[in-house]
Structure 1
Amino acid sequence: MSGPVHRTRSSANDTYLGGPISTETRINERIRVPEVRLVGPNSEQVGIVRVEDALRLAYEADLDLVEVAPDARPPVCKIMDYGKFKYEAAQKQRESRRNQQMTVIKEQKLRPKIDDHDYETKKGHVIRFLEAGSKVKVTIMFRGREQSRPELGFRLLQRLGNDVAEYGFVETSAKQDGRNMTMVLAPHKGAKTRAKAAQDSGRRAQAEPTPESE
């Protein structure tokens, strides 16, 4: 009976159960230890077996034997389709990068001594940004003697955070940044999805014919 077929070795970015699979990952007959703690293809715990038996089980299942925890004693190996695993890991990483790139940060600037009308206008902008799924960096700009009154900025940012709590939360608390004071608000999970659903619903409503009156 011929031995298991070699698959492509992992890249540095591959992961398994939250931990990295390095470029030194050993698979199949490259695993040169007497015994391994074996995990089956459905994540079932097989137990400690001779490496020859683990290789045989992997070969019989037409899968690979992959060393996933080389520092354990004995090393932990899993029977899996290594090519499929690498493909799925790469897909997840691409999706993660795409989600990170899609995160938009808007900025809203305020003065510490802002009148009520201007405040309501700026608050409305912040709410719209959050509803659209964007983060918002709120900046309080101090001028002249205002810099000696940082409590005005803290109170204003605290007020804004409370007023928009229905739409988002304070991701980064207020902090001094040179002459300015900043705070970052983030939308609640699913805000962008809800906003898109509402937009699609509005478009469908506009597309529907209006019933003629008799």
Structure 2
Amino acid sequence: MVIDETGTPVGQMETARAITLAQSKGLDLVEVAPQARPPVCKILDYNAYLFQQEKKERKAKANQKKVELKGVRLTFRIGPNDRETRKRTALEFLEEGHKVLLEMRLSGRENALADHGRKVMENFVTELGDKVVVEQPLGRMGNRFTMIIGKKK
């Protein structure tokens, strides 16, 4: 199936005939839907077509919101006021549309009491309530616990 430069269907024809028709108009024959039966080809200026496609992609990319990963660091012996401050900060990041990396570094004796650190992290997430969803579960890498949370949709 061949479509001319104005968008009107010309009909079905052999490839060679379609190419000569396009060349007679000083344009190119571009296959726009190869999966269709019969394949759909369009007579157009290929460079202009590529430019339009790139322009569309740039516009789509500009309209996408970039999601950043913001960090909130908790401590093994975090106090109630610090906990509230960290919760407020995490919720602000989530409201801005970012994901939040919760991190806790363990040092010295804290490594032997890692279960307490795990509980502190889990309690922090439950205190944030049903506004958040865990995107990466709590994991331990060396001497630190990490978890990624996002805003519930």
Shorter-chain TM-score range: 0.5 to 0.7
Extract unaligned runs of 5+ from structure 2.
Answer: none
Identity %, equivalent residues: 25
Tell me by how many angstroms 1:127 deviates.
Answer: 0.2
- From the superposition, tell whether residues 129 and 77 of structure 1 become closer, same or farther in structure 2 (CA, over 3 Å): same
Q: 2:136 matched to which residue of 1?
A: 172
Match of 2:42 among 68, 76, 79: 79
How many residue pairs align between the two structures? Answer: 146
Residues 49-68 of structure 1 correspond to what in structure 2 (within 5 A)?
50-55=14-19, 64-67=28-31
CA distance in 1, matches of 2:32, 2:87: 51
Q: Which has the higher strand share?
A: 2
TM-score, structure 2 as length reference:
0.64
Q: Deviation at 1:69? A: 8.2
**Distance (Å, rounded) in 2 between the aligned partners of 1:69 and 1:156:** 56
Task: Report which stretch shifted further, 58-67 or 175-184.
Answer: 58-67
Per the alignment, residue 96 of structure 1 pairs with 61
Aligned to 2:148: 184
Alignment equivalent of 1:112, drawn from 66, 76, 81: 76
Structure 1 segments unaligned to the other structure (5+ residues): 1-37, 190-214
TM-score, L = length of structure 1: 0.49
Give 1:112's aligned amino acid.
F
1:180 offset after TM fit, Å?
1.0
Q: 5 Å matches for 1:151-170? A: 151-164=115-128, 166-170=130-134
1:131–1:167: 8 Å Cα contact kept in structure 2? no
Instruction: Identify the structure with bigger relative contact order (alpha carbons < 8 Å, sequence gap 6+).
Output: 2
